[in-house]
A and B are shown apart, each in its own frame.
Chain A
Amino acid sequence: MKLTIEGVGKRYKGNFWGLREFSLELGPGVLGLLGPNGAGKSTLMRILATITKPTEGRALWNGTDIALSPNELRSGLGYLPQDFGVYPNLNAVEFLEYMAAVKGLDASAARRRIEELLVLVNLTEARKRPLGGYSGGMKQRIGIAQALLNDPQLLIVDEPTVGLDPEERVRFRNLLSDLGGERIVILSTHIVSDVEATATGIALIDQGRLLAYAAPEELLRRVEGKVWEWVIPSAELPAAREKWKISNAIRRADGVHARVVSERPPVADARSVPPSLEDAYLAVLEGSRSKVAA
């Protein structure tokens, strides 16, 4: 099972490139896509989900170009877009039965799978209610269930935890980790902690380009010894923000605990602290933008 992305680019109207020269090779595991708004994450996912075609380059699923032969991938694809809708007059079971038929699943296998999925996404109680009456979080869970209907080999989920309550979010993260063992899962999110909890590999994207692709441990190693924290009085925080790129500031009884990623300690009494993935993300992003500015 292999997904190869070779120099993929996507140009939109007005000569705007949403994605440029993007290359990556993926095997089983969870790939976390991280990047700011408009970085190109959704564009990449839509290309991989065969919803849109790349302007340049190609993506290969087990050696087959997905733009030329999309159906080979689609048979084993689970896709949860960032924005999607449901048929409001159908209930959860009926909607999933419909999606199962569209995905070409055998009716009896689909019935068993739907029962399992409804338990999984915690919607058994609401299974007979029309989807039009569902809340945003419940609809999101239906979206997750439909993505898993055909036991996909490639699962692409775009901002899947948006709208989920903390309990459901944890549950979904665990599920993704489980699923990543035997298939390729691509997870796009702004929530770094979601990636932290599930990803076996992380791709950082900005302005349509791949900035870094590494295991989380590797990304953390890159900023080891470069994350500093020190305490400043509340009143001095605005001035500190002007001077340094503070990634986090937490108010405590002794003052504000400011955190920065820097090669050298920002002040004499700053102490080195263990890096988080968020620090690594900001450091890569900052480094890339400084290069571009230079």
Chain B
Amino acid sequence: MSQARALYHLMRADFLERVRRYSFLITLGLAVWLGWAVSTGKLKLWISDTRGLYNSAWVGLLMVLVVNTFVSLVGFYVVKNTLERDRRTGVGQILATTPMSKVLYTMGKTLSNLAVLVAMVAVLAGMAVVAQFVAGEDTHIQLVPLLMPFLVFCLPAMALVAAFAVLFETIPFLKGGFGNVAWFFLFTAMMPLGIKSKLDVVGLGLVQKQLKAAVVKAFGTASDHFVLGAVDNETRTRTFRWDGMHWTREILLSRLTLLVIALGIALLAALFFDRFDVSRSWGRRPSTGRDLVAVAANGLVPAGDGAAVQPAPVPVHLHPLPAGSRRFHFLDMLRAELRLLLKGQRWWWYAIAAGLVVAGFLVPEAGRKIVSPLAWLWPVLLWSSMGAREARFGTDGLVFSAAWPLQRQLPAAWLAGFLLALVTGSGVGLRLAISGNWSGAGAWLIGALFIPTCALAMGTWSGSSKLFEVVYLLLWYIGPLNQTRALDFMGAVPVAVKSGVPLVWLAATVALGVAGVAGRKRQLAGR
């Protein structure tokens, strides 16, 4: 009983701490926006060349698939910060001294994550009703067909995401930016694999069979063409009536299995959880997060500060600085920012970056469609620290109290990111220039300008590297990698370059540049 009470309070405290933050409102706002996109028909579900009438059953199912596709991906990033918060605030150190077991802790954190995700899902369930009224095809609300898909499809998917977020936070190499990138690829791989297997997280595979049968019943035939997303071809207007899922034993068992797997992942996280003992961390001491001196100084001083390291103090006289030594040199600042950007990268990082540069230059155009995006994916974790580094590591008080931080440090930080983009993408850029493809080279240059500008703007506004990592990965995946014309910010899609898309990204770069400066101004003024 006391264990259950502890679990409840662990979850409750963490949940309340999150929902009372301004960022939670933004999260809910995002959910409302997603719901609105469905309501206004921007996101649709098509099977074959037909869609269902917007009754409660159809809207519920559509919203659930949207939730499981988008909220599962993005929600992970929303909730993956709970252990980090305990580590940063020092609450973890206090919890570690209580009788609380590791299993209890990871379970509590998983439940708290789940509560946050369910809050987002609840908003979207509410938006499903709005969507039904906005469509106006059938305004009779039926709660069971509307809400059952949320219970059966969303709950296990959210539980899985909640547990994965905790697991990632307990594994040293996954708790930082690398984990954010890894989740993106894990999720995008899980989706198509899931459709064909019994462990279908999103549920697309499970509903596809019944939807196809309904279409066959209505029109006599149906193809396997199944689309969930933005549909601009409104000529396909055939509709059918969908009365809801048949909750078969197979479906229920499959969802129950997901819940059990989520539980298993939460338990597995307990195995990796270091109970805030930094000495048990794998490899080097953790270097992410705001490692504030005051926290360490309040009696939490690790061993190693003893006389063994330090020689006996010797009297020292500090000489005054020579006249004229207070002279700002932009190149010194740039060099310092570049070092800060690149410091900590191992030899293999540079080797792979160099490999991508060479590949970008040597491979033929077809291959460049892959190499070009990859070359600008590899440094994503370096760019993502731009603008957010001061807040993340708590050096803002030091850096922002220096003279002209906006005119000196910020441009140097941006230029360091731009140089990184130029160098890592130089293989592709050089090849385009040599082949005389100047429009392509121009688009490539706009890409090199866009990336650090976007990183800096998102870093200064969010104070975290996560926002850029998520947004950039989504853009990168949908745009350059999947050759979506409008989202090709780096000139990887030849047709996009020809149709002037890079100019739109240039405008976006300018806007983001202004936003970045405004964000830093806000950081300087708002402290």
Contacts and interface: CB of A to CB of B under 8 A. Distances in A.
Given A113-B321, A122-B310, A82 B294 contact: yes
Interface in B281-333: 284-287, 290-298, 300-305, 309-311, 313-314, 316-322, 324-329, 332-333
Interface in A115-163: 116-117, 119-120, 122, 124-126, 130, 132-133, 135-140, 143, 146, 148, 150-151, 159, 162-163
A135 B305 contact: yes
A137 B297 contact: yes
Most buried by A among B329, B397, B400: B397
A83 interface: yes
B292 A84 contact: yes
Contacts of A138: 305
Contact of B400 (A51, A106, A113): A51
B142 interface: no
A105 B327 CA distance: 5
B403 A171 contact: no
Contacts of B335: 101
Interface in A15-73: 46, 49-53, 71
Given A102-B405, A104-B328, A135-B304, A86 B395 contact: yes
Interface in A154-198: 159, 162-163, 165, 167-168, 171, 175, 178-179
B292 A85 contact: yes
A199 B33 CA distance: 58
B302 A101 contact: no
B397 A106 contact: no
Nearest to B405: A102
Nearest to A175: B318
B344 interface: yes
A206 interface: no
A49 B400 CA distance: 10
Given A88-B291, A106-B326, A163-B296, A51 B409 contact: no
Nearest to A140: B293
A263 B507 CA distance: 75
A120 B318 contact: yes
B336 A97 contact: yes
B511 interface: no
Most buried by A among B320, B393, B402, B409: B402
A87 interface: yes
A119 B301 contact: no
A102 to B, nearest CB: 5
A86 B319 CA distance: 25
Contacts of B311: 122, 124-125
Contact of A50 (B300, B303, B401): B401
A75 B398 contact: no
A77 interface: yes
B107 to A, nearest CB: 30
A89 B343 contact: yes
Nearest to A117: B318
Interface in B325-368: 325-329, 332-333, 335-336, 339-340, 343-344
B399 interface: yes
Contacts of B324: 106
B198 interface: no
Contact of B326 (A53, A75, A94): A75
Most buried by A among B305, B389, B394, B409: B305
B291 A102 contact: no
Interface residues of A, number: 68
Contacts of B293: 83-86, 136, 139-140, 143, 163
A51 B525 CA distance: 8
B296 A136 contact: yes
For the side of the interface on B, what is the size category?
35 or more
B22 interface: no
Given A77-B401, A146-B398, A83 B292 contact: yes
B404 A162 contact: no
A257 interface: no
B298 to A, nearest CB: 8
A87 B389 contact: yes
Given A84-B293, A109-B321, A124-B311, A136 B402 contact: no
A51 B394 contact: no
B249 interface: no
A151 to B, nearest CB: 4
Contacts of A139: 291, 293, 296
Nearest to B300: A136
Interface in B355-412: 389, 393-395, 397-405, 408-409
Given A51-B527, A163-B296, A106 B329 contact: yes
A99 interface: yes
A274 B406 CA distance: 53
A136 B527 CA distance: 24
Contacts of B327: 104-106
Contacts of B287: 88-89, 130, 132
Interface in B495-510: none
Most buried by B among A87, A117, A124: A87
A2 interface: no
A90 B340 contact: yes
A100 B294 CA distance: 23
A88 to B, nearest CB: 4
A123 to B, nearest CB: 8
A293 to B, nearest CB: 32
Contacts of B397: 49, 51, 79, 81, 83-84
B310 A75 contact: no
Given A98-B340, A106-B325, A135 B294 contact: no
A104 B408 contact: yes
Most buried by A among B309, B316, B329, B401: B401
A135 to B, nearest CB: 4
Nearest to B293: A139
Contacts of A52: 527
Contacts of A150: 321, 326
Contact of A94 (B298, B339, B389, B400): B339
A74 B310 CA distance: 32
Given A84-B398, A85-B394, A116-B316, A137 B301 contact: yes
For the complex of A and B, 5 pairs with smallest distance between CB atoms = A85-B394, A136-B296, A163-B297, A109-B325, A104-B328
15 contacts: A79-B397, A83-B394, A84-B294, A88-B291, A102-B402, A102-B409, A106-B327, A119-B316, A126-B310, A135-B303, A136-B295, A138-B305, A146-B398, A175-B318, A179-B318
Interface of A: 46, 49-53, 71, 74-75, 77, 79, 81-90, 94, 97-107, 109-110, 113, 116-117, 119-120, 122, 124-126, 130, 132-133, 135-140, 143, 146, 148, 150-151, 159, 162-163, 165, 167-168, 171, 175, 178-179
Given A51-B527, A89-B343, 10 more contacts: A71-B403, A83-B295, A85-B291, A87-B340, A88-B291, A90-B339, A102-B333, A102-B399, A119-B314, A140-B297
